[in-house]
Homo-oligomer: A and B are copies of this chain.
Amino acid sequence: MARILVVDDEAQIRRFLRISLGANGHAVAEAETGAEAVALVRADPPDLVILDLGLPDMDGQEVVSAIREDSAVPILVLSVRAGEGDKVEALDRGAEDYVAKPFGIAELMARVRVALRRSPQAPKPAVVTAGGVEIDLDRRIVQRDGAEVRLSRREQDLLFVLARSADHVLTHQQILRAVWGPAHVEDTAYLRVYVNQLRQKLEADATQPQLIVTEPGVGYRLRTDQG
């Protein structure tokens, strides 16, 4: 799900975090020292760093700053030091969150989720392009060669369902259920009509579809530039 770097000199804590994070589907890398952590982040930035302030080689606060110089990766600080000054310093140096030990694992996992959800590790392109056609999923706008294309509601629904699974085959049933609802998973006639209408409006040559391609006996697929 996400790649997380755990920085702590105590093997026991690392083990505990590795298991907990792993159970939540994350890939865990580990570092024992600040220098090692900084080097790892620089070499291959993870999606999140969990950093214990008490490290043998350098002050944890310095590690926060050092990482921030290279990367904007979110940093979640762990510390036995519950003093307010430490918290303020770490947060102002660029840490995203600060959890005092001993911490509850449920809370920590919740805070990990928070940190990960606001930094979409896979910034999915909200806009799909294919040939001269541009599909803006966020704004629900479709353009062809720069000009906006007028689509009816059903046409839009169908196109966006395909676009959201760009370059993946969707079966007739999947599409019908998504657009017309579970009651119409058999009405493949709808599909043929509307696929055709979209092709008329979007394809350069509707008889030679480049955008919405038929997968015979299976379904349809929207082919993009990057796919």
On A, residues with C-beta under 8 Å from B are 84-85, 87-88, 91-92, 95-97, 104, 106-107, 109-111, 113-114, 118, 138-141, 152-154, 156, 167-169, 215-218, 221, 227
Contacts and interface: CB of A to CB of B under 8 A. Distances in A.
Contacts of A156: 215, 218
Given A88-B106, A88-B107, A140-B221, 10 more contacts: A85-B106, A87-B110, A88-B110, A97-B97, A97-B114, A118-B118, A138-B168, A140-B215, A152-B217, A154-B217
Copies of this protein in the complex: 2
A78 B219 CA distance: 47
26 contacts: A84-B104, A84-B107, A85-B106, A87-B107, A87-B110, A88-B109, A88-B110, A91-B107, A91-B110, A91-B111, A91-B114, A92-B113, A96-B118, A97-B114, A118-B118, A139-B167, A139-B168, A139-B169, A139-B221, A140-B169, A140-B218, A141-B167, A152-B216, A153-B217, A153-B218, A156-B215
Contacts of A140: 168-169, 215, 218, 221
A114 B76 CA distance: 12
A187 to B, nearest CB: 18
Contacts of A95: 114
